[in-house]
Amino acid sequence: MSLLIISISIAVAVIFLGGGIAFVVARGRREVPPTDVLDAITEEEIEHPEHPEPHLEDESDAAAPTTTIERPEAVQGRLVRLRSRLARSQGSLGKGLLAVLGRADLDDAAWEELEDTLLAADVGVGPTTELVEALRTRVRVEGIDDPEQAKVVLRDELVGLVGPELDRTMASVGSDGKPGVVLVVGVNGTGKTTTVGRLARVLVADGRTVVLGAADTFRAAAADQLQTWGERVGVHTVRGPEGGDPASVGFEAVQRGIADGTDVVLVDTAGRLHTKAGLMDELGKVKRVIEKQAPVTEVLLVIDATTGQNGLTQARVFGEVVDVTGIVLTKLDGTAKGGIVVAVQRELGVPVKFVGLGEGADDLAPFDAEEFVDALLA
């Protein structure tokens, strides 16, 4: 009986082998047909299979870390949250102004105190003089002696001083099908690279596609930092070797943006201020090389709001070197020196377009004159 069973088993095996349809099956891999079957498949069918097999990852693929793409916070939600934060951090300025204007008797000493409060907040001498004179005139002419009336008048004059009529939109739309190109400049330490990453999040939240250019090649961590920002929102970063040519990186970033049909290319530039001549040569070259492919639509200057007059000095230097079109004020929270918004706009003649408040990834929002003043006086 045993011999009969063994004979049957051998016969079955021979039949399958003789038919040429044996399969080699390995756990976790696709089945591979024998040679004669592969010979019958045309080259076109291999390149364009009608029903392609799904790719099965092996154990090493499964263990590889994957970057989770984040969904940035909508801009409108940021404005509400940042206004609340700004109101808490800037309260001393607003309260100081209202405390003086709310007095029953506004003598010369009171007006001098008002001037001192504004100057301490980095509003600047010229704008402070204009504001105080306007307030004195309105208080006298309108006979204001009520704190609530004084607050309304102060709000009107502050909004006018900040400039609600200025165009604060970021020029990020290119022409002829090319991407908008935004250069971000500023001294190292102002939060420039972080600002580029945050701007990418603002654009992605608005449904725009972005390419980042890590043209600050003189800081070892700058490219890594920017690439991490990009990966978090699924944005590609073009980078070069450490110490390489920044203009080359900017060129390649715009080239990649054009090839991919990207909406906006954000280029982070080096922020060294050893000599103004060196800075001029470097930034000028970056801009010239980039514009061989597409016009630069915006140049944003990043300024640390806590640096006061030093920040104005930086703004003056960069304003002489490149055609700055907008300002980003970082670290505006935690300081009562919100008057730098007015001072830096007067210094450069260009508007503040974004403000950074806090350390979170989405703590950057478009600047709004009325929202800012309301936060000061909250």
One domain for residues 247 and 221: yes
The total number of structural domains in the chain stands at 2
One domain for residues 184 and 253: yes
One domain for residues 156 and 259: no
pLDDT of residue 335: 60
Token digits of residue 259: 């090839």
pLDDT of residue 107: 86
- The dihedral through the CA atoms of 158, 314, 367, 286 has a sign that is positive
pLDDT of residue 334: 57
38 in any annotated domain: no
Last residue of a domain, one of 162, 196, 218: 162
pLDDT of residue 129: 94
Range of the domain at 96: 77-162
The CATH number assigned to the domain holding 312 equals: 3.40.50.300
Distance CA 378, CA 314 (A): 31
Distance CA 350, CA 352 (A): 7
Token digits of residue 236: 């590609």
One domain for residues 352 and 207: yes
Question: What are the backbone angles phi and psi of residue 236, rounded to the nearest 5°?
Answer: -80, 140
With beta carbons less than 8 A apart as the criterion, state whether 263 and 210 touch. yes
Quickly tell me which residue has 């016009």 as its tokens.
295
One domain for residues 128 and 191: no
**Which value, to the nearest 10 degrees, does the dihedral of the CA atoms of residues 162, 163, 166, 171 take?**
10
One domain for residues 318 and 205: yes
Tell me which residue of 100, 91, 77 sits closest to 375, measured CA to CA.
Answer: 91
One domain for residues 110 and 251: no
Token digits of residue 242: 């450490």
121 in any annotated domain: yes
Q: Which are the contacts of 352, defined by CB distance < 8 A and separation ≥ 6?
A: 168, 326, 327, 328, 329, 341, 344, 345, 367
With beta carbons less than 8 A apart as the criterion, state whether 252 and 239 touch. no
221 in any annotated domain: yes
pTM of the model: 0.78
220 in any annotated domain: yes
Token digits of residue 324: 């700055």
One domain for residues 362 and 251: yes
- The dihedral through the CA atoms of 155, 160, 166, 170 has a sign that is negative
Distance CA 204, CA 197 (A): 11
305 in any annotated domain: yes
- List, edge to edge, every strand of the sheet that includes 298-304: 236-239, 210-214, 264-268, 180-185, 298-304, 326-330, 352-356, 364-366
Q: Which are the contacts of 142, defined by CB distance < 8 A and separation ≥ 6?
A: 149, 153
102 in any annotated domain: yes
Tell me which residue of 283, 250, 284, 251 sits closest to 267, measured CA to CA.
Answer: 250
Last residue of a domain, one of 162, 197, 221: 162
109 in any annotated domain: yes
One domain for residues 198 and 154: no
One domain for residues 289 and 216: yes
Tell me which residue of 368, 89, 321, 64 sits closest to 183, measured CA to CA.
Answer: 321
Give me the helices (H) in the chain, please: 2-18, 35-39, 43-47, 59-63, 75-89, 91-101, 108-120, 125-142, 147-162, 192-205, 220-232, 246-260, 276-290, 309-321, 340-348, 369-376
One domain for residues 256 and 323: yes
55 in any annotated domain: no
With beta carbons less than 8 A apart as the criterion, state whether 233 and 147 touch. no
Last residue of a domain, one of 162, 195, 211: 162
Q: Which are the contacts of 7, defined by CB distance < 8 A and separation ≥ 6?
A: none
Q: Which are the contacts of 334, defined by CB distance < 8 A and separation ≥ 6?
A: 89, 306
Q: Please give the full DSSP string across 137-201, using - where no structure is assigned.
A: HHHHHHT--SHHHHHHHHHHHHHHHH-TTS--------STTPPEEEEEE--TTSSHHHHHHHHHH
One domain for residues 88 and 235: no
The CATH number assigned to the domain holding 98 equals: 1.20.120.140
One digit per residue, the tens of pLDDT, for the chain of length 378 reads 444 444 444 443 433 334 443 333 333 333 333 333 323 333 333 233 333 333 333 333 334 345 688 888 887 777 777 677 776 665 567 778 888 887 877 888 989 998 998 888 888 899 999 999 999 999 889 888 787 888 899 999 999 999 999 999 999 999 999 999 999 998 888 889 999 999 999 999 999 999 999 999 988 789 999 999 999 999 999 999 988 999 999 999 999 999 999 999 999 998 776 456 777 788 889 999 999 999 999 999 999 888 877 788 888 888 888 899 999 999 887 565 678 889 889 888 999 999 988 788 998 989 989 988 888 787
Q: How many angstroms separate the Cα of 112 from the Cα of each of 116, 119, 145, 166, 245?
A: 6, 10, 18, 30, 53
